[in-house]
């Protein structure tokens, strides 16, 4: 019998160093909203996305055809015109342009994953496409939940659980975090929006009037792209 590849789930950036990323596929997950935004920008025609850690680093990229976007604490950072709302990045805004993005959680995780064989960008928007890609690659996987300021969060864990559930026959998942994430997802079932309404990040974001963003970020399989981070630290779809 052929040995199956394994899935691990990392519930917080603080726990990522406990896992070996080498020779693995890392899927970075920041449902509200960085990875949903990156998927949307690329789906709507962005050339590529550059994830950066600081607003200073972001500003260095100033130039024609480049959109500088920064989010801190759920809002557009001071001095920036663009933030972390996926709904900002319509084809009219982003087509053929480059997006340079820094966010509170997700972009940091993309940089932390450096050294893995493949670094993919996961969101409910491209759930099926990510699952298919993981089957094709057939390598050990880390589902890396960005969380909120290093804390566990519900929406990223639910996405990780969805992936584990969809790959349960093709991969092993012998770690407690993967088991728990899958249980949470399976018991949530069709009520994703209702459960996420309990989450602390929903409470935080809804104060900023972005419930439309959240509804959008929880819509499933609206695009079949799988963004990946290349060696030049650019996120592309091909």
Residues that bind a copy of itself (CB under 8 A): 11-12, 14-15, 18, 148-154, 157, 174-177, 179-180, 183-184, 187, 198-201, 203
- For a copy of itself, the closer CB: 86 or 161: 161
- For a copy of itself, the closer CB: 58 or 214: 214
Read off the DSSP letter of residue 77.
Answer: P
Q: Which residue has the tokens 């057939």?
A: 138
Cα(30)–Cα(35) distance, integer angstroms: 5
The distance of closest approach from Cβ of residue 188 to a copy of itself in the complex, given in angstroms and rounded to an integer, is 8
185-205 in b/e burial notation, b at 16+ Cβ within 10 A? Answer: beebeeebeebbeebebbeeb
Tell me which residue of 97, 101, 113, 89 sits closest to 52, measured CA to CA.
Answer: 101
The distance of closest approach from Cβ of residue 167 to a copy of itself in the complex, given in angstroms and rounded to an integer, is 16
The distance of closest approach from Cβ of residue 176 to a copy of itself in the complex, given in angstroms and rounded to an integer, is 4
The distance of closest approach from Cβ of residue 57 to a copy of itself in the complex, given in angstroms and rounded to an integer, is 25
- For a copy of itself, the closer CB: 43 or 202: 202
Answer yes or no: are the C-beta atoms of 69 and 99 closer than 8 Å: yes
Cα(9)–Cα(26) distance, integer angstroms: 10
Answer yes or no: are the C-beta atoms of 186 and 2 closer than 8 Å: no
- For a copy of itself, the closer CB: 15 or 193: 15
The distance of closest approach from Cβ of residue 159 to a copy of itself in the complex, given in angstroms and rounded to an integer, is 13
- For a copy of itself, the closer CB: 180 or 222: 180
């Amino acid at each position: 019998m052929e040995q199956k590849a394994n899935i691990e789930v990392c519930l917080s950036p603080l726990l990522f160093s406990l896992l070996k990323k080498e020779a693995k596929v890392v899927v970075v997950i920041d449902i509200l909203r960085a990875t949903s935004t990156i998927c949307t920008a690329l789906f709507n025609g962005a050339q590529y996305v550059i994830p950066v850690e600081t607003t200073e680093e972001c500003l260095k990229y100033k130039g024609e055809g480049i959109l500088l976007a920064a989010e801190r604490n759920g809002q557009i950072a001071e001095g920036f015109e663009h933030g972390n709302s996926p709904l900002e990045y319509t084809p009219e805004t982003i087509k053929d342009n480059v997006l340079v993005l820094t966010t509170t959680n997700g972009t940091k995780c993309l940089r932390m994953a450096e050294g893995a064989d493949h670094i993919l960008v996961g969101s409910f928007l491209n759930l099926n496409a990510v699952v298919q890609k993981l089957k094709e690659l057939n390598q050990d996987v880390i589902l890396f939940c960005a969380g909120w300021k290093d804390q566990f969060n519900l929406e990223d864990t639910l996405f990780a659980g969805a992936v584990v559930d969809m790959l349960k026959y093709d991969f092993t998942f012998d770690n407690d975090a993967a088991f728990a994430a899958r249980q949470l997802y399976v018991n949530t079932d069709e009520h994703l929006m209702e459960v996420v309404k309990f989450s602390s990040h929903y409470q935080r974001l809804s104060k900023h009037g972005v419930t439309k963003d959240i509804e959008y970020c929880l819509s499933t399989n609206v695009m079949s792209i799988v963004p990946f981070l290349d060696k030049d630290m650019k996120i592309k779809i091909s």
